[in-house]
Amino acid sequence: MEEWWAWDRKEVLKELNSSEEGLSEHEARVRLRKFGENELKQIAGISGWQIFLTQFGSIFIIILLLATAFSLIIGHYLDAGVIGAIVLLNSMIGFWQQYKAEKAIVKMRAMLVPNVRVLREGKMQEISSRELVPGDILLISEGDKIMADCRLLHENSLEMNEAVLTGESFGQRKTSEKLKVDTELADMENMIFMGTNVDRGNGRAIVVATGMSTEFGKIASLVQSVKVEKTPLEKKFDDFSKKVAIVILGIAGITALLGVYRGNDLFEMLLAGIALAISSIPEGLPAVIALTLAFAIRRMEVHNALIRRLPAAETLGRTTVICSDKTGTMTEEEMTVTKVYCGGKYYKINNRIFFSDGKKIEALKHGGLRELLRTGILCNNARIEKEDRIKLYGDPTEKALVAIADHAGLLKKEETEKEKRIIEYSFSSKRKLMSIVRKNNSLVSHVKGAPDVVLKRCSQELINGKVIKLDDLRRQKLFEEYEKMASQALRVLGFAYKKLGRKFNQDLAENDLIFLGFQGMIDAPRKEVAGAIRDCLNAGVKVKMITGDSLLTARAVADMVGLNGESFEAHELEKLSEEEFDRVVKGGVIFARITPELKFKMIKSLRAQGEVVAVTGDGVNDVLALKEADIGIAMGIRGTDVAREVSDMILLDDNFSSIVRAVREGRRVYDNIKKSVKFHLAANVNELVIVFAALLLNMPLPLLPLAILWMNLITDGLPSLALTVEKEEKDIMRRKPRDPKEKILDKIFGFILIAGFIASVVTFALFALNYKQDLEKARTLALTASVFFELFLVFTCRSDKQTIFELGIWSNKFVVWSVATAFVLQLIAIYTPLAKVFGFVPLSFAEFLLVLFVSSLGLVFFEVMKIVERGR
């Protein structure tokens, strides 16, 4: 970036070969070809095919694809068809969710490219912002969005909202004077930047950078160098898949060796081993996990949280730290009057209600307060429109003054109709004052401005309805009250008035004034943020405020939302060693004046220390951190396109409390995934144990591959899927986040082994006692016992602590209906002509009752253990 801010206006014009009259049309076209259109390259945009192909990157999916290929090779076409269909289903679920999210982002993008006003050949023209080129003279006024980086040439009371770039919530006063070379971005008062907005005033500026060359564009381009990492769930599932692959290879190898040892052909036994391994793969697991996440995402969307990638839904549940921007995320991003001083008394305003000495009051019955609020709206250019809802237009500070008077019952429209506007003496950065003269029965000057400036111009004060002389001692006391309010991070304005004679001028209108009081305002916190933060802390999730605002403002907002802890400014962090930096970032709570690069470094530090980090943000200054975090959370309303496109989650309502609901849902997702995994694997342990036992004992296979596939389809499908909608545990938001190092099998491995052992003992016993008399009957008994064992087991998998009676059998009706469906399907398989396909035979009533009894032993054992554990 050229140091345009350090050059005077003539130097800038000369360097860009332009003039105050603007470029010629020919030169503008030449530069447009040279520099290209003024637009940002799309960040993170991918096609539908790319989204679809990314769904096949999981190791488990690769294993299933290999299993499909092997099934085709060895002639198991039904196996190949079923596994292939499951892979396709899993991929379609993931594709649809991500594709839908990408489309939602496109809809969020503004449909029209804004037009801008420029001078070309001395004439004002309105052109598309895409046609802006370096050297163009841009005309700006209140409400405009800046579409390029510019150096100011002239300004009139210009104030910019640069929160999207710097994180600073207060408007930035602008000047056209040159600045020092070492001026920081946030303090470049003679520069205006792409993506920012004009809050107040007007001006003329020369374009110095467009498109990807702007500050906005540079940060956007840096995003592309940050690698998108897999979520913790994806990493853990890949690790789990590798272990499954090892087990599968082990099964094939051991089967082949045992067969050869018994004198069978090596190739035939190897194929048998592969067939058995393929049949034993929990092929339904990826689809169940995908559906679990998809259902959770649908529930999150109801609460205005749009998840872009399926695994991100679960990652929220394991979050240990939320690093939140302040402006627009924790706060409303609009100024609100919260404290007033007049007549020697303070008045607090909370949720639109006025309080004095802790008691609720009617503001308009307090004469001095009424006059203060009245001057606030009569010396004011903002307007209020009451359409389908109340809308305020104008400078943020003036809008706050109109809003607070409106809350008190003092309506601007009525008051301004009573007093005709005569003349305005506008605010300027040099005067720090504005006044408007109005006429009712007499002429009155209404004045507002910087408190110290207003106080110097006052000779009297209104106290309890009486005008009293203002001496130096009282003036000093009032100045101390102003400083006290400012120390609370309030933006404070002073107000005064004066009755005028028939003839007046600016000097008469703005001197020898009657002081009315101060109004202090702040970018107020959102109402629900304090409760959301409290819920996070109760859940063991640390919340850190990272902002570009001043430390004073950050502390004040943090105090209002219940964030307590150490606070630091950027300059303090920059002096620290790497070890000290890590310690401070981990332990600190409030961080102010933070640059994008420093925020990025902080997120990397937290992740390196084992934290699972979620970062919220809406501006381009947040983009690097959003992409580096485990979960990047962008704002849907206030957020920039770039921030949304690199995020994992978008808050459609910009509501911080939506994050807490998403964390709750994420924890529920992980709990339910583990329930499904332990249910799935317990069945697979049973299948493997009885097959190996039969091989070791030189017995026929109790379960044939096709029968195993049937069992997996009816038991691993619907019942397992029903577990994904299980309600959250009662203590879900009162327990600490899970250890980031925790693996999928942690805390459930014991259950899997015990359940698999009980199931295999029951199943193998039925087979061993019957296979010599009737092999088909023995296999039918073993298969049916395995199926019913799993159907009973699904009820105990619903909770680790509560019994089925405490949960209520019908509290998850999907489990009941899925078990009933699987039960009926198994009856169809053994009592209809379909039995011939699987090699089943009908069971007698006594045999059926025996199977039901032994199959329920697992459920009885685990339910009793829950009661025993609670007793301990």
- For residue 519, what pLDDT band results from cuts at 50, 70 and 90? very high
Query: CA-CA distance, 94 to 83, in Å (whole number)?
Result: 17
- Which helix H or strand E contains 856, and what residues bound it? none
Domain identity same for 381 and 427: yes
Helix (H, G, I), strand (E, B) or coil at 264: coil
CB atoms within 10 A of CB 575: 8
Please, which pLDDT band fits residue 502 given cuts at 50, 70 and 90?
confident
What average pLDDT does this structure show over 124-143?
A: 88
Q: Which amino acid is at 834?
A: L
pLDDT of residue 105: 46
Is position 66 within any domain? yes
**Position with higher pLDDT, 71 vs 679:** 679
**In sequence order, which residues have a C-beta less than 8 Å from that of residue 799 and are 6 or more positions away?**
726, 729, 806, 807, 866
In a domain, 210, yes or no: no
pLDDT the model gives residue 112: 40
H helix or E strand, kind and range, residue 143: none
Q: Please, which pLDDT band fits residue 724 given cuts at 50, 70 and 90? A: confident
pLDDT band at 226 (very low <50, low <70, confident <90, very high): very low
Last residue of a domain, one of 661, 676, 710: 661
pLDDT exceeds cutoff 60 at 816: yes
Single out the residue of 1, 430, 7 nearest to residue 178, CA to CA.
7
pLDDT exceeds 50 at position 521: yes
Q: What is the pLDDT of residue 643?
A: 73
Query: What pLDDT was estimated at residue 74?
Result: 66
Q: Answer yes or no: is 40 within a domain.
A: no
Residue type at position 3: E
Residues 642 and 711 in one domain: no
In a domain, 199, yes or no: no
Give the DSSP letter string of 279-300: HHS-TTHHHHHHHHHHHHHHHH
Coil, strand or helix at 543: strand
| Number of domains present in the structure of the chain | 3
Q: What is the pLDDT of residue 283?
A: 61
On whether both 758 and 864 belong to a single domain, the answer is yes
Q: Does some domain include residue 225?
A: no
197, β-bridge pairs: 145, 161
pLDDT at 109 > cutoff 50: no
Query: Which stretches of 105-237 are assigned E, i.e. beta strand?
Result: 115-120, 123-128, 137-141, 149-161, 172-173, 191-192, 197-209
Task: Give the residue carrying structure tokens 């190092």.
Answer: 741
With beta carbons less than 8 A apart as the criterion, state whether 240 and 744 touch: yes
pLDDT > 70? residue 287 = no
* Structure-model confidence comparison of residues 869 and 774, the more confident one: 774
The answer to whether the CB of 755 falls within 8 A of the CB of 685 is yes
State how far the Cα of 300 lies from the Cα of 511, in Å rounded to an integer: 59
pLDDT digits (tens, 9 = 90+) for 818-839: 899 989 999 998 999 888 877 8
- The DSSP code sequence of 209-245 is E-GGGSHHHHHHHHHTTS--PPPHHHHHHHHHHHHHH
Higher-pLDDT residue of 163 and 280 is 163
Residue 713 has pLDDT above 90, yes or no: no
Minimum mean pLDDT range among 54-63, 285-294, 728-737: 54-63
CA gap 484, 498 in Å, rounded: 26
Contact between 17 and 34 under an 8 Å Cβ cutoff? The reply is no
Tokens of 69: 């290929």
AA letter at 92 = M
Distance of CA 504 to the CA centre of its chain: 57
Determine the average pLDDT of the residues in 802-807. Answer: 86
Which among 368, 185, 233 is positioned nearest to 672, based on CA atoms? 233
Q: What is the pLDDT of residue 267?
A: 60
Tell me the β-bridge partners of 139: 117, 204
Kindly indicate the confidence band of residue 436, based on its pLDDT and cuts at 50, 70 and 90.
very high
User: What pLDDT does residue 692 have?
Assistant: 74
**How far, in Å, CA of 372 to CA of 516, rounded?**
6
- Find the CATH number of the domain harbouring 466: 3.40.1110.10
Residues in the chain: 872
| 614 & 716 share domain | no
Same domain, 723 and 782: yes
- What is the mean predicted confidence (pLDDT) over 656-681? 83
* SS3 call for 52: helix
Q: Distance between CA 101 and CA 105 in Å, rounded?
A: 6
Angle of helix 551-561 versus helix 529-538 axis, rounded to 10: 80
Q: pLDDT band for position 427 (50/70/90)?
A: confident
Q: What is the mean pLDDT of residues 21-27?
A: 91
Instruction: Clarify whether residues 691 and 824 are in a common domain.
Output: yes
Instruction: Please state which of the ranges 71-75, 110-114, 258-262, 434-438 shows the lowest mean pLDDT.
Output: 110-114
- Check whether 194 has a pLDDT greater than 50: yes
Closest CA to 264 of 702, 698, 776, 779: 698
Q: Across residues 384-402, what is the average pLDDT? A: 79
| Residue that finishes a domain, picked among 597, 632, 661 | 661
Residue 708 lies in a domain: yes
Q: Which two tokens stand for residue 459?
A: 């000779």
Indicate the range of 6-10, 94-98, 130-134, 610-614 predicted with least confidence.
Answer: 94-98
Count CA atoms closer than 13 A to 39's CA, side-chain side: 13
C-alpha dihedral sign at 832, 838, 839, 842: negative
Least confident residue range of 237-251, 501-515, 732-746 = 237-251
Buried b (16+ CB within 10 A) or exposed e, 532-570: bbebbeebebbbbbbbbbbbebbbbbbebbebeeebbeb
Whole-number Å distance between alpha carbons of 671 and 733: 12
- Kindly tell me the sign of the dihedral angle through the C-alpha atoms of 99, 644, 321, 733: negative
CATH number, residue 553: 3.40.50.1000
* Rounded distance between C-alpha atoms, residue 429 and residue 432, angstroms: 5
For 501, the domain range is 336-522
Helix (H, G, I), strand (E, B) or coil at 337: strand
How far apart CA 670 and CA 645 sit, in angstroms, is 26
What gap in Å lies between CA 814 and CA 486, rounded to an integer? 59
Sign of CA dihedral 287, 289, 292, 293: negative
Whether 762 and 833 map to the same domain: the answer is yes
pTM higher than 0.85: no
Q: Higher model confidence: residue 245 or residue 723?
A: 723
Q: What is the CATH number of the domain that holds 796?
A: 1.20.1110.10
* Mean pLDDT, residues 148-157 taken together: 89
Residues 6+ apart with CB under 8 A from 369: 340, 342, 343, 347, 354, 363, 408, 517
CB neighbour list of residue 343: distance below 8 Å, 6 or more residues apart: 366, 368, 369, 462, 463, 464, 517
* Domain contains 173: no
Q: Whole-angstrom Cα distance, residue 545 to residue 617?
A: 11
Which residue, chain included where needed, has tokens 């020697």?
344
674 and 780 co-located in one domain: yes
What does the mean pLDDT of the chain come to?
82
CB-based burial, 122-157: b 16+ in 10 Å, e otherwise: eeebeeebbbbbbbbbbbbebebbbbbbbbbbebeb
Q: Are residues 481 and 517 in the same domain?
A: yes
| Same domain (yes/no): 318, 371 | no
Q: Which helix (H) or strand (E) holds 462?
A: strand 458-463
Residue 494 makes CB contacts below 8 A (sequence gap 6+) with 448, 449, 450, 451, 452, 453, 454, 455, 482, 515, 517, 518
Active site members = 325
Is there a domain that residue 139 lies in? Answer: no
Domain shared by 584 and 599, yes or no:
yes
> Which of 456, 490, 522 is the endpoint of a domain?
522
CB-based burial label for 847 (10 Å; 0-12, 13-18, 19+): middle
Whether 414 and 508 map to the same domain: the answer is: yes
